[in-house]
Chain A
Amino acid sequence: MTHLDHLYRVAYYLVKNDVDAQDCVQETCARALTSRDQFTPGTNMKAWLTKILYNFFYDFYTRNRRTIAAEDLSLSAGGDFWETLPTQSAGPETQVSAQELAVKVDDALKQIPEEFRAPIVLVDMGDFTYAEAAEILSCPIGTVRSRLSRGRKLLHRILGRDVL
């Protein structure tokens, strides 16, 4: 399946664990098969599948809003989320290999709230345009852009000079 890696990647960063991500993708594929008549040939199948996946995730998120919200609250406990983020020092001991950096980026992505994480996952990983991401997330293009901007700054705050 052409878009399987992409779907799994998106799912993995949305739900933040492998087991749920696999469930998400399987459910997405099942729903896509069921409603394949609704797909218009010649349009963007990757975006169509991703929207199905995100809708499923969103439903799940809504059903489990209390649990996930509590998790996000723990990040922002004590006030502004920005103030709680760890900052990296610039010393030589913090210089990391590419592999270590990938792990740090992975961790950092999982730390930021879903509303900022989702646009990053779609645009930076999925190569979607703002318009496509807005369609998938069911929000205005301007919202995608502002959340991307804030999300990347959050990541930079966590990763510090590791990335530059």
Chain B
Amino acid sequence: MNCEQAQEWITALIDNELSAVERAAIEGHLRDCRQCQQTHEQERAIKQQVRLASASITAPAALRQAVEGARSRPSAWVQARRRLKEFLAMPLVRPALIVAFLLLVIYPLMFRGGEQRSIAVAALSTHEAIATGQKTVTRVNDVEKLKAQLVQAVNGRFAPMGFDLSAMKLYPVAGFVQKIGGRDVLVTVYQGAGHVTCFTFLGSESDAPDDATVFFDEVKKIRFYSFSQSDFHAVLHREGELICIMVSKMPAADLLAMVRAKARHS
């Protein structure tokens, strides 16, 4: 072993990291080499001084408090769970949560017709507003153009029911799109010898009010739902995926007869 090789062995000797064989080898070299003996003493002294110098360095009190505080503080997850448990243990919280759950989840499921019924009711209200002049509509002369505009307004998903009521001296004079319950409803206004409004939208027979009177046409195999509000009457029927509600102030029986005559089996 030469002195250069001995350097790291001296380090390992000081740190007690040598095997018995290695230790014997370096100790043998040290016995014969004055320079390496000196290196050994110097390095051992350095290690000792480093230990002494560092021993005086201790964690500041502020750090100790901060760490102890953090350690005694539960994790954010544990804190959140604890707060949740405390909240649930409060009086009336559980019953209130159950009621809220029922309102948010169960109620809409049980009363799915609520939104649809509102379309039927809204149809009656809209017709009344038009008939009484509370709602103004822009008259158009070109019926085909009106129909095209309405179809375009719902991105071509469906078209308004194009009933020809000219035999009753009723003609389409206006149309617009009404958003009811989140659904697009095409409204066609007929005027002439009276007022009739036709509402067309994508839906099902469950859109009829629960209290509607149902008439089944055995020839056409169509169910008609008749319902009223104030002096206004309405008849709902389905043609495929489309629902049509005709609203008028004419007697309910006459309105039903008119719709039955015009309805087409899907």
CB–CB A156/B53 < 8 A: no
Question: Which chain B residues numbered 187 to 244 have a C-beta less than 8 Å away from chain A?
Answer: none
Q: Which of the residues B42, B50, B57 comes within 8 Å of A120, measured between beta carbons? A: B50
CB–CB A98/B51 < 8 A: no
Question: Which chain B residues numbered 52 to 66 have a C-beta less than 8 Å away from chain A?
Answer: 52-54, 56-60, 62-64, 66
Q: Which of the residues B10, B47, B63 comes within 8 Å of A124, measured between beta carbons? A: B47
- Asked whether any CB of chain B lies closer than 8 Å to the CB of A105, the reply is yes
- Asked whether any CB of chain A lies closer than 8 Å to the CB of B49, the reply is yes
**Interface residues as binary, B1-38 with A (CB distance below 8 Å gives 1, 0 otherwise):** 00000011011100101000000000000000000000
CB–CB B45/A164 < 8 A: yes
Give the complex CA separation of A13 and B55 in angstroms: 12
CB–CB B43/A152 < 8 A: yes
Give the complex CA separation of A148 and B42 in angstroms: 13
> Which B residues are within 8 Å of any A CB, using their own CB?
7-8, 10-12, 15, 17, 41-43, 45-47, 49-54, 56-60, 62-64, 66-68, 70-71, 75
> Which A residues are within 8 Å of any B CB, using their own CB?
1, 4-5, 7-9, 12-13, 18, 22, 25-26, 29-30, 33-34, 98, 101-103, 105-106, 109, 120-121, 123-125, 129-130, 145-146, 148-149, 152-153, 155-156, 159, 163-164
* Subset of 6 A-B contacts with CB under 8 Å: A5-B59, A8-B58, A152-B46, A152-B47, A156-B43, A159-B46
